[in-house]
Amino acid sequence: MDSVDLRTETLAALRRWAATDRSTLVAAAWRAGNRNVSELARTAGVGRDAIYADLRAKGIDPTSREEPAATIKAAVLPIPGWRHPHLLAVAEAGLPYGTRYDYTVAPFSGQEPEPELPDEWRGIHPSDGNGPRSWERSAQRHSEIELVRRAWARSHFTFQVGQLLTARQYPYRAPAEDWQAYVEARETLRAAYSALDTTPDNMWRSALLHTVDAQGPARHAAEQWDQRAAAFAKLDHWLLRQLGESEHPTHAIRDAAAEHGIDTSAWLIEDHYDYSEGFTSMMPAAEEIEEIVKKGDERVRRVAALTDAGHRQPNA
């Protein structure tokens, strides 16, 4: 069940129909929560005094701070005009300040095409009637299709995550295998540098070669994983654009993958822009490997410098 905020819609209706029935539309906007008299006046194209008069004409005291008691009663709306097939029910709840619409939407598989309003229903339709109430029917349709579209987007996202999780690419590995290959190569590189701490002096040259040998496979595995992660990040960015910041899940990929039985909580998947040219010079996994190499090589150089300095000290 979702709710549609009518504050924006009532302001839009006031802007469009102010010359027809201004006082009714001003009262509707006020009851929907638009309590800024100056904003109402600008929207209606009149002065503040006219707004005060409109409100009082509809039994509203604009100076009162008391909240009226809530009298909520829900009734299933009739079906005027067009309804998307996945919209099972619409209930209207009368609130102190306007109306809230609650919806029940049938689940999507994620494979359906994106829901859209038919062209003939995009604006005011002849069946909507005439006058200031027709905007409500048109706005209602747009609210409903937006709700259905967001429900579809969530399901489509989950379906597409499933497709990515099973997609195989050279060398014919699934993402989980690419991630494991990256982790193993990364840890091998770390272990090579760590092994220097316990390597005897006469074995250091050989141990240093191990660090060099481990860099190539680690960089290759990082490149492979970054390609995988970029696809997931791009899909997550798509969902963000569909739902907006407020509705976008914090762990959308992890949650969707869990529905397919795969735990991705440890996977290195950053923001979409971290994989986009022009926004980053190095992708996340590649950057992680280069940081290991940078710190490891810097430590080797410091040890070498200290050792060299010790060798150059004059005999006592």
User: pLDDT band at residue 59, thresholds of 50, 70 and 90?
Assistant: confident
* DSSP letters for 270-299: --GGGGSBTTBSS-HHHHHHHHHHHHHHHH
Residue tagged 């609130």 (tokens): 95
Terminal C-alpha separation, the chain: 85
What's 148-163 look like in SS3?
HHHHHHHHHHHHHHHH
Report the C-alpha gap between 46 and 185 in whole angstroms: 70
Q: Which of 173-177, 274-278, 291-295, 304-308 is the least confident region? A: 304-308
Q: Write the pLDDT tens digit of every residue in 2-34.
A: 334 557 767 877 887 777 678 878 887 887 778
- Residues of the chain by 3-state class (helix, strand, coil), percent to 5: 60, 10, 30
Residue tagged 């597409």 (tokens): 160
Which range among 44-58, 97-111, 225-239 has the greatest average pLDDT? 225-239
Average pLDDT, the chain: 84
Q: Write the pLDDT tens digit of every residue in 243-288.
A: 988 888 889 999 999 999 999 999 999 999 999 888 778 999 999 9
40 or 100, which is more confident: 40
Give the predicted TM-score (pTM) of the model: 0.71
Mean pLDDT of 203-214: 92
**Residue % of the chain over a pLDDT of 70:** 85
Spatial neighbors of 2 by CB under 8 A, at least 6 apart, are 102, 103, 105, 147
**Beta carbons of 142 and 117 less than 8 angstroms apart:** yes
Does the pLDDT at position 216 exceed 50? yes
pLDDT of residue 193: 95
Separation of CA 44 from chain center: 35
Mean pLDDT of 117-139: 78
Q: From its phi and psi, is residue 287 left (phi > 0), alpha (psi between -120 and 50) or beta? A: alpha
**Beta carbons of 25 and 13 less than 8 angstroms apart:** yes
84 or 128, which is more confident: 84
Q: How many CA atoms lie within 13 A of 173 on its CB side?
A: 15
pLDDT of residue 285: 97
pLDDT of residue 313: 56
Residue tagged 């549609």 (tokens): 4
Mean pLDDT of 89-118: 77
Mean pLDDT of 152-167: 95
Mean pLDDT of 52-79: 66
